Amino acid sequence: MSLWRRPPDSGPSFKRQLDRVYQVYTAGFILLVVMLAVLEQLGLSREWISSIFLMVTIGVYAGIGIMSRTTDATEYYVAGRSVPAIYNGMAVGSDWMSAASFMGMAGTLYLTGYNGLAFVMGWSGGYCLVALLLAPYLRKFGQFTIPDFLGERYGGHLPRLLGIAAAILCSFTYVVAQISGVGLITASLTGVAFELGIFLGLGGILVCSFLGGMRAVTWTQVAQYIVIIIAYLVPVLWLSVKQTGVPVPQAIYGFQLEKVTAKERLLTHDPTEVEVRDIYRLRAQELADKLSDPAAAMLADRQQAEERLSRLRQEGASLSQTAAAERQLAMLPRDVDAAVALWTRQKQEADTKSKPLNGMPPHAIPFTGDPQGSLAERREYEESRRNFLALVFCLMVGTAALPHILMRYYTVPDVQEARKSVAWSLLFICLLYFTAPALAVMIKFEVFHGLVGTPMDQLPQWISTWNRVDPALLSVNDVNQDGKLQLNELTIGGDILVLAMPEIAGLPFVISGLVAAGGLAAALSTADGLLLTIASALSHDLYYKMIDPNASTARRVTISKVLLLVVALMAAYVAAQKPADILFLVSAAFSFAAAAFFPALVLGIFWKRANGLAASLGMIAGLAMTFYYMATTQPWLRAVFGITSPVELWWGIQPISAGVFGVPVGFAVIILVSLVSPRPDGATRALVEGIRLPGKAGGAKDDRPL
């Protein structure tokens, strides 16, 4: 199909053709939503609405994939280098916005207020580094992958091999998270089992990237971006009109923030809230006592439960009462380790709930603690500020080092388009990032004003709906038994806020279906890009460049397709195991990418003196540093590696920001080792000089024949 392939020398008309195609597509999608809304009013069931959304969108993505199938290497790896800047910007947008951005960000902002804005700043400001330091130069270099650049610039197999390893490490952890996101959404949309949902979504990913590589992925990602942004904006606009009467939530939510802040002050001193907090404080104290001697506490618990059971039996209590007591006895933790784990978790929860505002910091106040307060408060303030800055740093540098994002800038026609394309990328990403904080504030307003203080028997329907899906995500517990809901009696998991928002705002079900379709598009588009990155690193860099340089183009593309399938199945298998700390792994991928790639890439472009030995050692040192800090400080990794020594945080930096140590180490090692070892040869210096010049000057490799 010639629709997605640029005929030679037809830049502007190709773009006009694309404009037309996507205008028709957008209109068609809006028509679908309107039609389903009408059908819902006519009595179409929820199951049907969600199934239609799921099938139509995945069908369209697959259709684009089939229409742009290809066996040509330039088409397969870099979409023929013919993607106009604006469309590459959209593709980067949906490549970038994962299940975490779409579903998690507003939730994080709801729970942490200002402190969550580290994600908004980090994930957008990183594009300054992409634009200024990397994208134009990589495009001028004009190969296929990021390990390609390391291999050519630094020479020898080692830098390329390290690049392959790091690219796979970062991308694989990330893709597992996307696939579990796909599973979650398909499962909650259609009611199929989580594992089946994973494989359904996987089919959608594979049809697309398997047949058409980067060309198919690009045009599907543009289509997915349109779904993502409509699905995110429509319900927030609606909510904004409902709360303020103004359909521009991004501009108006300052007023809602003011009201939320005022209500926060009231809730902090509200007597019933204080009562609830005291109950939890008592509970936390009891759990602390139990934890100080777990064996004895277990024995006491068991005796108490047994006594209760025998007393019930003697009194001839009803069958259901004794059954409940038996269940309670059976539910007691089996050994000391299990008891300690359970009580530690319960104590953490009780500790959080004994704080004002359900442990959420005041929404508009930067950082926690108090710079004028006691010693402990001053310390908390300093550490929370330091961690905010460190997290922003890691997310920014990580953004500028994730291979699946950088690779997209190989697909534009020339250097100038690459620069413009970064600007478009940021614009499309910011459309969502401007809206997420608005959404968080408006949901908080809804909870504070619409929910808190409601009698328990008049709570809205969505609370019980989501409680049934998973009590860990949403639960309500009237601990002070006053028959009304206090803020601290409500537990909301950040991940469900966006999915539940249409119901929270009282919107028709068709909007819930739309939001789920958007979340699915976000997860699928990112998974597409990541899988392609892994498959190209293996087929192009490992197989073609290192194992069999004489392999024919068709053979390389075939190998890439097979690898894609294998990697996708592996990722689905890992996702189906529901690994414990998947969200942590995703954030960790940023620190790893930052430490592994950023110093080697930037110095490779801006410092001719950097040589291959130094780059290899720098990448290893940066990764090792990051990994060491994480492994010794992060609870889950400590358990995996059996580390029992006490946790020693350096300057109080949290493990998620380990890259803040890895990146400087990487830079330092590359600079120092380069200075004491021979300078790179003339060909390498000429390569660097070439990529610094614009256009075709300086031995450009644009569209070099394969």
Partner 1 sequence: MSVQQRIRYWRTTLRLTLGLLVLWFLVTFGVSFFARELDFTFFGWPFSFWMAAQGSLLIYGIIITVYAVAMGRLDKALEEQERRDRA
The footprint of partner 1 (CB under 8 A) covers 114, 117, 120-121, 124-125, 127-129, 131-133, 136, 250, 254-255, 257-258, 363-367, 371, 381, 385, 388-389, 392-393, 396, 415-416, 419-420, 422-423, 426-427, 430, 433-434, 437, 689, 692-695, 697-698
Cβ 143 to partner 1 shortest distance, Å: 21
Q: From the CB of 420, what's the least distance to partner 1, in Å?
A: 5
Least separation in angstroms between CB 435 and partner 1: 10
Name the residue nearer to partner 1 (CB basis): 268 or 491. Answer: 268
Paired tokens of 74: 């330039």
Give the shortest CB-92-to-partner 1 separation in angstroms: 12
Minimum CB distance to partner 1, residue 232 (Å): 16
Residue among 438 and 617 whose Cβ is closer to partner 1: 438
Would you say 177 and 583 are in contact if contact means Cβ atoms under 8 Å apart?
yes
Spatial distance between the Cα atoms of 261 and 436, rounded to a whole number of angstroms: 18
- For residues 126 and 201, which CB has a smaller minimum distance to partner 1 in the complex? 126
Q: Distance (Å, rounded) from C-alpha 480 to C-alpha 476?
A: 12
Where b means 16+ CB within 10 Å and e means fewer, 176-209 reads bbbbbbbbbbbbbbbebeebebbbbbbebbbbbb
Is the Cβ of residue 471 or residue 695 nearer to partner 1 in the bound state? 695
Nearer to partner 1, 63 or 698 (CB): 698
Backbone angles phi, psi at 23, to 5 degrees: -65, -45
Question: CA-to-CA distance for 108 and 501, rounded, in angstroms?
Answer: 14
d(CA 160, CA 167): 10
User: Under a CB-based contact definition with an 8 Å cutoff, are residues 544 and 123 in contact?
Assistant: no
CA-atom Rg of the chain in angstroms: 27
**Interatomic CA distance for residues 704 and 557, integer angstroms:** 18
Classify the C-alpha dihedral 444-447-448-450 as positive or negative.
positive
Residue 27, Cβ density class (10 Å: 0-12 exposed, 13-18 middle, ≥19 buried)? exposed
Block residue for tokens 């650049």? 149
Of the candidates 421, 539, 419, 392, the residue with the CA atom closest to the CA atom of residue 95: 421
Please, what is the minimum distance in Å from the beta carbon of residue 352 to partner 1? Answer: 23
Share of the chain residues as helix, strand and coil, in percent rounded to the nearest 5? 80, 0, 20
141, 391, 447, 523, 530 from 425: Cα distances, Å: 21, 22, 34, 18, 17
Instruction: Please state the closest distance from residue 80 (CB atom) to partner 1, in A.
Output: 23
Q: Which is nearer to partner 1, 23 or 374 (CB)?
A: 374
The residue written with tokens 């190998």 in the block is 559
Instruction: Give the integer Cα–Cα distance in Å for 530 and 417.
Output: 23
Q: What angle do CA 185, 190, 196 make, to 5 degrees?
A: 70
**By C-beta, is 508 or 698 nearer to partner 1?**
698
Residue 476 belongs to what H/E stretch? strand 474-476
Q: What minimum distance in Å lies between the beta carbon of 697 and partner 1?
A: 6
Amino acid letter for position 181: G
Report the DSSP beta bridge partners of residue 254: none
Choose between 208 and 426: whose C-beta lies nearer to partner 1.
Answer: 426
Give min distance, CB of 381 to partner 1, in A: 8
Q: CA end-to-end span of the chain, whole Å?
A: 23
* Residue 216 or 436 with smaller CB distance to partner 1: 436
Residue type for position 109: L
CB of 124 to partner 1, least distance (A): 5
Quick check: 160 and 147 in contact, CB under 8 A?
A: yes
Between 51 and 416, name the residue whose CB sits nearer to partner 1.
416
Q: Which is nearer to partner 1, 159 or 249 (CB)?
A: 249
Q: How many helices (H) and strands (E) does the chain have?
A: 28, 2
Tokens of 61: 């993505």
Helix extents (H) in 113-155 = 117-129, 135-141, 146-154
| Residue closer to partner 1 (CB basis): 367 or 584 | 367
Q: Give me the least distance between CB of 606 and partner 1, in Å please.
A: 8
Instruction: Output the smallest distance, CB 398 to partner 1, in A.
Output: 14
CB of 537 to partner 1, least distance (A): 28
- Judged by beta carbon, residue 93 or residue 437, the one nearer partner 1 is 437
